Amino acid sequence: MLHLARTLLPALAGFSLLVGSASAEKQYGPGVSDIEIRIGNIMPYSGPASAYSIMGKTMSAYFRMINDVGGINGRKISFISYDDGYSPPKTVEQARRLVESDEVFLIFAPLGTATNAAIAKYMNTMRVPQLFVLSGASRWGDPEHFPWTIGLQPNYRAEARVYAAHILEQHPNAKIGILYQNDDFGRDYISGLKDVLRDKYDGMVIASMPYETTAPTVESQVVAIKSANPDIFLNIATSKFAPQAIKKIAELNWHPLHIVTNISVSVGAVLKPAGLDNAKGILSAAFQMDVTDPQWDGRPGMQRFRAFMARYYPEANRSEGGPMVAFIASNALVEVLKRCGDNLTRDNVMKVAANLDIEIDGLIPGIRVKTSQTDFYPIEQVQMMRFTGERWEAFGPILDGHDEQVAPSSN
């Protein structure tokens, strides 16, 4: 292990993990000792969202790396990750197991909108941090009612505002067709579109078709939307269904302006299964560096990401975007735990997580993680991008969609 640490330390100098204790008085919550911090996680290793399981595997690899270079303030991370199959009742079962049986310090980066919604009340009643939720639902920024739950990525409603602003600017007379998941995830995007389009929404949106996560395909919805002949197709779908829609559009020889959500931009998990030629010209928005885009190759953050992946998760598909999201989330957690020092109580973790203004490896330059006691949306900026048929290519300014007047970020 010492050899591994010496090999990686030069490439990972930016992590600065071996921070000494400045306090003689230690305060610990459940799951913490002088030598250990127990972290829980819930991930769909099976079921309709299993494509995202690569994130849980990346986190596990990341914490192995952290432990190899000494842990956090001398404490090793014990990472306990359970499968919920993307089923809310199973998520509740696993959250209870982690909190009551495994006695974890906190639950980190559980994935999914409906799944996290199912445990939010429990986590807040138990006063256990539900930290850096991997879902962009706007409900994760509600410190007044859910002070123990905080998101990470740009929220879906804000992302949709950016798309709506782009449409109004570039295609003001366009007709829009929408495919959306029939839950909080899909409805957040609809709300964001309405925030910006306002009284134009009903006139511009001529087809809007929901689908259930239990459905085998969305092909019939795509056919129905095409029959309305919209100019723009908004693909508000997760990684199982988004490629189905892309492929079906190609089969129909239909060529609308096509926009997919940020959670379905992975070249490996979404666009390759759909056919790269079929995906050419699709638009989306990003907050993280795209792992397939050579423009980031010289960036230290991308170099550290690749050094980590090469050593700790070499079998991962290098064209998948999920590992970068997991890398960013894990970086954020490590930064929070470092800043807690020897005051590793659940109260202090939430206090630190709600007082951040930091750069994180893997984010597009200019995008920062910023929070406050009243702002639980850590990442609020995105940049539009277009798929060339081989990779994503960013264009335009960094945009902030946190309010209804979408404008270039001041950062």
Identify the structural domains of the chain with CATH numbers, from first to last. Answer: 2-154+293-379 (3.40.50.2300), 156-286+383-408 (3.40.50.2300)
DSSP 273-332: HH-HHHHTT-EEEESB--TT-GGGTT-HHHHHHHHHHHHH-TTS-TT-SHHHHHHHHHHH
pLDDT over 70 (residue 6): no
Name residue, tokens 């006063």: 127
| Lowest-confidence segment of 3-7, 70-74, 118-122 by average pLDDT | 3-7
pLDDT 10s digits, 311-336: 999 999 988 889 999 999 999 999 99
Instruction: Tell me, yes or no, if the pTM score tops 0.85.
Output: no
pLDDT over 90 (residue 18): no
pLDDT 10s digits, 95-107: 999 999 999 999 9
pLDDT over 90 (residue 4): no
Contact 298, 305 (CB under 8 A): no
Distance, in Å, from the CA atom of 244 to the CA atom of 88, rounded to the nearest integer, reads 24
Contact 63, 41 (CB under 8 A): no
Name residue, tokens 């639902």: 137
**What pLDDT shows up at residue 292?**
85
Instruction: Specify burial of residue 358 (Cβ count, 10 A radius: 0-12, 13-18, 19+).
Output: middle
**What average pLDDT does the chain have?**
91
